[in-house]
Chains A and B, each alone.
Chain A
Amino acid sequence: MSNQLIPRRSVIRSLLGGSLLMPGVLSELLAEDDPTGMRHPHHAAPAKSIIFIYATGGVSHIDTFDPKPTTKGRDGTGKDKLMGNIFGAKHNPRCGTEVSNLFPHLREVMDEICVIRSMKASHFDHSEATLGMHTGSATFARPSVGSWISYGLGTLNQNLPSFIVIAPHLPYGGTQVYASDFLPAVHQGTRVIPGADPIANLRPPGSSQRLQDLEYELADSLNRLHASSRAHDSALTARIKSFETAFQMQQSAPEAFDLTQEPAHIRNLYGLDRKMKGAGADFAWQCLVARRLVERGVRFIELIDTGSRPNWDSHGDMKEHADLAYNVDQPTAALVADLKRRGMLDNTIVFWATEFGRTPAREGQNGRGHHRDCFSVWLAGGGFKRGHVHGVTDEIGKYTVDDRVDVHDLHATILHQLGIDHERLTFRHAGRDFRLTDVHGRIVKEIIS
């Protein structure tokens, strides 16, 4: 391939002094940013990476992972407007987890999945609850969970950002959902928009490889002259190295996003290039890229299926859920199965969530309102129980009956599985130590295998 990296002599020289002799450099760079130098896990733990799949808008738990029967007049026509799952449901034949017919593919891999049905949301409205799920705070701007994990563990690959967000559209809460806020900027989520140029500025606009090599050489010579009288400034050295890393990223990042390298059976498994229903982008692309990024050592990958509109916020008609589910069901299930088959699921967490559930009572013609008091999320891999259901809601899906889990608990537990003690992962800012879980968070031991 013509754009294959063929380093020129100067490039080689400088790379040998730098990033090719990794994994030293990025950790050095990170250490530069992070005086507390927390790079190692607090304890041995199964998971090393996490794929966070976020379904925007509030997925109805009643019609998906906590299906409630429509019998006994629970079809929305009664005075109480109560409405059960309108899509039908079945149990996974092996583990018995019941999932609605919206997710036939995911139902098949329920043996690998731990569903939590007793979640409580941090707020009743989209933006706040979305921020709550991402940062632990529904009100004030705080670092994203991905930034915290990147800060806590660093990256395994210096040629790619440690926290990548694949999002065709911005979710509620805008860029705050993946901002590093007061954590060093190196930990902020890098947003990838599915398509030809997933990461901004990866390709030179118009200039050739050879020209860029020449430029690299000139910059290197001049930077070295400049540095000769400033030898002790580690920021200058770090910045020279950052250009080497970026130079590498131009080669390795497009490769990570290049799905033409995937064999046909894998493309088919994920359903790549299926025709999407509605305005959705190809979620199979996102899932397959996510697996490739995990393989390449990216710590935290978030996939957002839709943006702040249109999405799972089915106030008027629950049938909107069908198309959205179709778009994500097969690729998501394929991701779990593919990771499993490659032996990667043990040290990768796949975490699916939304901001809140939907009301048991019908709203409008055939929709449901926002519901804060209970909803479902699920986790796979990373040492979580397989084929397990945690928590119980009442028979109409309005309140949690047992084992309530809030967002801080969920965060604490995920960090735990990555080897991070949520009470010790702190950052001193504006006069106090901040935590992802603030002063809350209980590790939900019951879902850990």
Chain B
Amino acid sequence: MKRICAIFVGCLSSILTSPTGAAEPVDYRRDIQPIWQQHCAKCHGAEEQNGGINFDDRASIFAEADSGKRPVVAGNVVASEVIKRVTSIDENLRMPPEVGPLSELQINTLKNWISQGAAWPQADVSNTQKAGTSSHWSFQPIADPQPPDVQDASWTSSPLDHFVQAKRESAGLEVGQDAEPVVLIRRATYGLTGLPPTPEEVEQFLEAVESPRGLEGAFSDLVDELLARPSYGERWGRHWMDWVRYADTAGDNSDFPIPQAYLYRNYIIDAFNGDVPYDRFLTEQIAGDLLPAESQEQRNRQTIATGYLAMARRFGSLVERYPWHLTIEDTIDNLGRTMLGLTLSCARCHDHKFDPITTRDYYGLYGIFASTRYPFPGIELFQSQRDFVPLIPAEPAVAAMRPYQAESDRLTAELDMLLTACRQRAMEDAARESHASLDEQRKMQDELDAMLIKARRAGEKLADHLKKIPPIPTAYAVQDAEPQDACIQIKGEPARPGAVVPRTFPKILGGQTLNEADANSSSGRLELASWIISPKNPLTARVIVNRVWQRHFGVGIVPSTSDFGLRGQVPTHPELLDWLATEFVRSGWSIKQLNRIIMNSRTYRLSSEDIKENLAHDPRNRYYWKFNRQRLDAESIRDTLLMISGTLDVTPLTEPYPIPPHSQWKYTQHHPFKDDYPSQKRSVYLMTKRLTARPYLQTFDGPDPNVCTSDRNQSVTPLQALYFFNDEFLHEQAGRFAAALDESADDDRIRAKKAFRTILCREPSTKESDFMLKHIAAAREQFEAETLANQQAWSSLVRTLLRLNEFVYVD
């Protein structure tokens, strides 16, 4: 090692002393390109551009790399990072990695080439794909396709059907029957509200079908009526909550509760019920606080909407090593998946391996969130909320804080100063680490540790002070912080800053940047929202219409609903996807209208019955020759149990959970927040904790509140069966319904029919009735006291009906 070093020093000095040199003129094509190709281009070439460097691309070699340095500075060997790296004695830095260093001759050739002006013939500019373009389907503009002609036009009842039928005809597959009206109303009611239709509603619908409105008219009316119910927002708001990984706790190791989180939940539900245009909905969640507001009420609503960003996961327990970069990663990850169908966060440590997303793109977004002040929900060693956004006008808010403000400012300044010092020291240490001895490294560590402890103490002081301040109404929401562009974090490590990247939208999606005035005065969130909903961005509309489609049919037109990238799946019906996206935008981004377009198609109204011949060719029903039978999700099962027992409380939860006041908080990783606040309300209103999942939700494939849950699994397990056999809650609800049944009629056949209709939404056949009555008779015999026997027998029948496949699956 030492020897190599000496040689390098020798070479370097010889070049420095004779800059023009007597060296042979170096020819790029003959002498340099082979070195690039053999030693560099595998990791820094057309395939991968690690560090933002591409030795196939002339411009990239003279431009600033992710590290902030230029690989080649013509005429300046010392400033050229390439030379620094091929001659480094530090194995972590030396290029090429893992294999031995370049030969002395090669290194000299490179140096000579650079000192001679680094000539690179223009003709050799690579013809590799230009950054910011891709031939991948999802990055192409949304087309406005016309519904195709079909052979048998008598089947179709909407333009949507044309797309589906044309495909199906070309595959030579026969279409199935239409679903029975009783099947349709159950499907639509669960689909839009997460609850079953009552027997009366079924009856009315069947009558309407027989009326002059006919099936299509009656069904269209039904869809309108369901969309107008408050339970629609609760159902579809829950879908959005799945995607934005909604929770009432922060996810740090003590799982701090966020009493204000519910405001964002209710905002979502209200937005779906009010059919807030989707482009507006996204804008409010990203930048609602930056939108104009005409009243305090409107301002509050828009502030609360940014709970979407606040909802990013929190990590760690120490104020002095608080990993904000992970929270920002979680923000970008969710925004990418949920809104754009892209896995952006792969680019945190390296350019995306598959998608045209670079590390620069990632840190271009990162700067926007680094310029955003996230609320701080508290951690083990900082037991207080901080930076929540007041929901009262500025003046009284300031007045309420006034008695405490000076002390808050003083303690905050002290903490910030210490944290800044720690950060600086950590970066200095990181830079020194590679050439420090083990003892020096340990000494550096000890010194930094001492500084960190000081910062921790300052944090504790501030938290203790903040806890004393009487609370004012606030939201778990974000605000703008000091605007800043972010540095690339080399290999995703915050202590290794690279080039500064201006805030920007990924190149492939338009590459818009902030103008200077906006860059200096704001985070850029409002602009980010406008880029996301811009017509230039082909993803946003496609992604949401596909998500809505998936929640109806069980599978998306693009099955990988959160990944439209190169590793995702391709659309089964690309024209249909574009047609839906175009119609959606044309309708003013109305989700309700999108639901209407989908549900009022004949495709939606198909029966789920199989056609044997089709199964052989298309077992997964990719051509939609039938409707996909689907298992009820966890919430629908629980809510239905409460509904049939008559104990479902349908009023929304408009208050925070009774979490103890924050002045009393003492949550630690030893005693994390674990409280639960059971209620008889719909499941969407149940407390959601990030660290302690409900066993019930785990058993029935509930959402993961830590990450975007694209779609729900529909698993079948023995533990689910045990739930239906023996769960106490289920037995209780069955008992309540049985008691009501027992009183409702004198005739067993009528009672049995009522039980059947309530649970399965249709009339039993004679055979089915006979089975039930036989069971009732046999069950009664099991109980001696007659008074008890009746109710027990009916309870037993109800439990049995709840176990049926027909209950748990929607045809």
The finding on whether chains A and B are genuine partners in a shared complex, rather than unrelated, reads yes
Smallest Cβ distance from B174 to chain A, in angstroms?
15
Which A residues touch B629, using CB under 8 A? 230, 233, 235-236
Q: Are B803 and A219 in contact (CB under 8 A)?
A: yes
Q: Are B768 and A210 in contact (CB under 8 A)?
A: no
Q: How far is the CA of A232 from the CA of B613 in the complex (A)?
A: 12
Partner of A205, one of B565, B693, B726: B726
Smallest Cβ distance from A47 to chain B, in angstroms?
25
Q: Are B771 and A246 in contact (CB under 8 A)?
A: no
Which residues of chain A from 22 to 37 have any CB-CB distance to chain B below 8 Å in the complex? 29, 32-33
Is A211 interfacial (CB 8 A cutoff)? yes
Smallest Cβ distance from A84 to chain B, in angstroms?
20
Partner of A430, one of B323, B343, B698: B343
Is A259 interfacial (CB 8 A cutoff)? no
Closest A residue by C-beta to B691: A174
Q: Are B768 and A235 in contact (CB under 8 A)?
A: no
Stretch of A38-46, A68-76, A120-128, A336-344 lying at the B interface: A120-128
Q: Are B669 and A126 in contact (CB under 8 A)?
A: yes
Which A residues touch B255, using CB under 8 A? 174
Is A227 interfacial (CB 8 A cutoff)? yes
Is B221 interfacial (CB 8 A cutoff)? no
Q: Are B767 and A308 in contact (CB under 8 A)?
A: no
Smallest Cβ distance from A127 to chain B, in angstroms?
3
Smallest Cβ distance from A68 to chain B, in angstroms?
18
Stretch of A181-189, A267-275, A325-333, A375-383 lying at the B interface: A181-189
Q: How far is the CA of A214 from the CA of B778 in the complex (A)?
A: 8
Is B431 interfacial (CB 8 A cutoff)? no
Which residues of chain B from 233 to 280 have any CB-CB distance to chain A below 8 Å in the complex? 253, 255
A200-B722, A226-B804 known; A308 vs B671 contact (CB < 8 Å):
yes
Q: Are A226 and B713 in contact (CB under 8 A)?
A: no
Is B695 interfacial (CB 8 A cutoff)? yes
Which A residues touch B560, using CB under 8 A? 430-431
Q: Are A236 and B699 in contact (CB under 8 A)?
A: no
Is B733 interfacial (CB 8 A cutoff)? no
A226-B805, A243-B721 known; A184 vs B253 contact (CB < 8 Å):
no
- B325-345: CB near A (< 8 Å → 1, else 0) gives 010000000000100000100
- A194-211: CB near B (< 8 Å → 1, else 0) gives 000001111111111011
Partner of A201, one of B567, B615, B723: B723
Q: Are A201 and B672 in contact (CB under 8 A)?
A: no
Partner of A243, one of B316, B670, B803, B806: B803
Q: Are B253 and A126 in contact (CB under 8 A)?
A: yes
Smallest Cβ distance from B379 to chain A, in angstroms?
11
Which B residues touch A205, using CB under 8 A? 726, 728, 731
Closest A residue by C-beta to B342: A431
Which B residues touch A308, using CB under 8 A? 669-672
Q: Are B809 and A235 in contact (CB under 8 A)?
A: yes
Is B796 interfacial (CB 8 A cutoff)? yes
Stretch of B156-164, B285-293, B460-468, B702-710 lying at the A interface: B702-710
Is A366 interfacial (CB 8 A cutoff)? no
Partner of B721, one of A32, A188, A226, A246: A246
Is A353 interfacial (CB 8 A cutoff)? no
A201-B727, A203-B726, A242-B718 known; A232 vs B615 contact (CB < 8 Å):
yes
Which A residues touch B804, using CB under 8 A? 219, 222-223, 226
- B300-319: CB near A (< 8 Å → 1, else 0) gives 00000000000000011110
Is A144 interfacial (CB 8 A cutoff)? no
- Greatest chain A CB density within 10 A among B629, B715, B792 is at B715
Smallest Cβ distance from B461 to chain A, in angstroms?
21
Is B387 interfacial (CB 8 A cutoff)? no
Is B182 interfacial (CB 8 A cutoff)? no
Which residues of chain A from 359 to 410 have any CB-CB distance to chain B below 8 Å in the complex? none
Which B residues touch A247, using CB under 8 A? 721, 725
Partner of A179, one of B568, B698, B725: B698
- B779-809: CB near A (< 8 Å → 1, else 0) gives 1001000000000100011011101111011
Is A190 interfacial (CB 8 A cutoff)? yes
Q: How far is the CA of A126 from the CA of B706 in the complex (A)?
A: 19
Q: Are B253 and A431 in contact (CB under 8 A)?
A: no
Partner of B805, one of A141, A170, A176, A240: A240
Partner of B722, one of A176, A181, A202, A210: A202
Which B residues touch A5, using CB under 8 A? none
Which A residues touch B774, using CB under 8 A? 218
Smallest Cβ distance from A360 to chain B, in angstroms?
13
Q: Are B800 and A215 in contact (CB under 8 A)?
A: yes
Is B515 interfacial (CB 8 A cutoff)? no
Partner of B609, one of A185, A230, A309, A430: A230
Is B610 interfacial (CB 8 A cutoff)? yes
Smallest Cβ distance from B457 to chain A, in angstroms?
16
Is B720 interfacial (CB 8 A cutoff)? yes
Closest B residue by C-beta to A185: B715
Is B692 interfacial (CB 8 A cutoff)? yes
Is B423 interfacial (CB 8 A cutoff)? no
Q: Are A184 and B721 in contact (CB under 8 A)?
A: no
Is B57 interfacial (CB 8 A cutoff)? no
Is B231 interfacial (CB 8 A cutoff)? no
Which A residues touch B799, using CB under 8 A? 215
Q: How far is the CA of A430 from the CA of B698 in the complex (A)?
A: 20
Which A residues touch B567, using CB under 8 A? 431-432
Q: Are B722 and A246 in contact (CB under 8 A)?
A: yes
Which A residues touch B669, using CB under 8 A? 125-127, 172, 308
Smallest Cβ distance from A373 to chain B, in angstroms?
10
- Greatest chain A CB density within 10 A among B255, B695, B722, B767 is at B722
Closest A residue by C-beta to B694: A175
- Greatest chain A CB density within 10 A among B317, B610, B718, B767 is at B718
- Greatest chain A CB density within 10 A among B346, B612, B797, B803 is at B803
Q: How far is the CA of A426 from the CA of B456 in the complex (A)?
A: 41
Smallest Cβ distance from A186 to chain B, in angstroms?
5
Which residues of chain B from 415 to 429 have any CB-CB distance to chain A below 8 Å in the complex? none
Partner of B698, one of A185, A207, A250, A313: A185
Smallest Cβ distance from B631 to chain A, in angstroms?
7
Closest A residue by C-beta to B689: A174
Q: How far is the CA of A326 from the CA of B797 in the complex (A)?
A: 51
Which A residues touch B723, using CB under 8 A? 201
Is A77 interfacial (CB 8 A cutoff)? no
Is B716 interfacial (CB 8 A cutoff)? yes
Q: Are A223 and B716 in contact (CB under 8 A)?
A: no
Which B residues touch A88, using CB under 8 A? none
Is B719 interfacial (CB 8 A cutoff)? yes
Q: How far is the CA of A211 from the CA of B781 in the complex (A)?
A: 10
Q: Are A245 and B721 in contact (CB under 8 A)?
A: yes
Which residues of chain A from 126 to 158 have any CB-CB distance to chain B below 8 Å in the complex? 126-128, 139-141, 158
Is B563 interfacial (CB 8 A cutoff)? yes
Q: Are A238 and B716 in contact (CB under 8 A)?
A: yes
Is B151 interfacial (CB 8 A cutoff)? no
Is A280 interfacial (CB 8 A cutoff)? no
Q: How far is the CA of A40 from the CA of B61 in the complex (A)?
A: 49
Is B562 interfacial (CB 8 A cutoff)? yes
Smallest Cβ distance from B665 to chain A, in angstroms?
16
Q: How far is the CA of A153 from the CA of B693 in the complex (A)?
A: 26
Could you name 12 residue pairs across A and B whose Cβ atoms are closer than 8 Å? Answer: A125-B318, A128-B315, A175-B695, A207-B796, A215-B799, A215-B800, A230-B609, A231-B610, A232-B610, A242-B721, A243-B721, A308-B670
Known: A127-B317, A175-B691. 13 other contacts (CB 8 A): A172-B253, A174-B689, A179-B693, A179-B698, A207-B792, A214-B779, A215-B800, A230-B608, A230-B609, A245-B721, A249-B722, A431-B563, A432-B567
Q: Which 8 A-B pairs have the closest CB atoms?
A: A127-B253, A246-B721, A174-B691, A431-B563, A309-B670, A201-B726, A201-B722, A141-B706
B interface residues with partner A (beta carbon < 8 Å): 253, 255, 315-318, 323, 326, 337, 343, 346, 354, 560, 562-563, 565, 567-568, 608-610, 612, 615, 629, 631, 669-672, 689, 691-693, 695, 698-699, 701, 704, 706-708, 710, 713-728, 731, 765, 767-768, 771-772, 774-775, 778-779, 782, 792, 796-797, 799-801, 803-806, 808-809
